[in-house]
């Protein structure tokens, strides 16, 4: 049973179609967060090549912000971006409740390969959310 709108999923003939949340909102302690707002801040960081924001389950708040990051390989060897730097970068521009609690790096942590994408090339946030929740539950990533 879904405890928030972003956890509700429409299933037709056992195929997962899409979340019943057209804006992909994340709900943190009653506050609505639009992932695109945070993603735009992350895209402006010189060491971040790609980013995606998803909701990660949390006992206290229901959901918290999780950021999946692909480091820029050209900058990575010079000055790799860290979890703390990602959080500080977002905190400079947005409210505290919009700062990612968890930061996952592509090729490390929760994702072994590339981004999970649809046939049209869009990132499958449902899959990212599942990977993030699993990584947090297994203790591979801490806040």
Q: What is the pLDDT of residues 55-105, one digit of tens each?
A: 999 988 889 999 999 988 887 666 778 999 999 999 999 999 999 999 999
> What domains can you pick out in the chain, each with its CATH number?
5-137 (3.30.300.30)
Closest CA to 66 of 4, 126, 113: 126
Contacts of 31 (CB under 8 A, 6+ apart): 97
Tokens for 14, please give them: 């056992």
| Residues sharing a CB contact under 8 Å with residue 21, sequence separation 6 or more, in sequence order | 5, 6, 8
Give residue 7's pLDDT: 47
pTM: 0.79
């Amino acid at each position: 049973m879904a405890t928030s709108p972003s956890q509700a999923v429409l299933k037709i003939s056992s195929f997962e179609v899409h979340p019943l949340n057209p804006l992909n909102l994340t709900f943190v302690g009653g506050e609505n967060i639009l992932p695109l707002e945070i993603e735009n801040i992350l895209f402006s960081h010189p060491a971040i090549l790609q980013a995606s924001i998803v909701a990660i389950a949390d006992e206290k708040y229901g959901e918290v912000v999780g950021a999946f990051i692909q480091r820029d390989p050209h900058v990575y060897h010079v000055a790799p971006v860290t979890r703390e730097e990602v959080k500080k970068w977002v905190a400079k521009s947005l409210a505290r409740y919009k700062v990612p609690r968890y930061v996952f790096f592509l090729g490390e942590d929760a994702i072994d390969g590339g981004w999970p994408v649809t046939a049209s090339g869009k990132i499958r946030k449902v899959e990212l959310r599942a990977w993030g929740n699993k990584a947090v539950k297994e203790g591979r990533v801490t806040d």
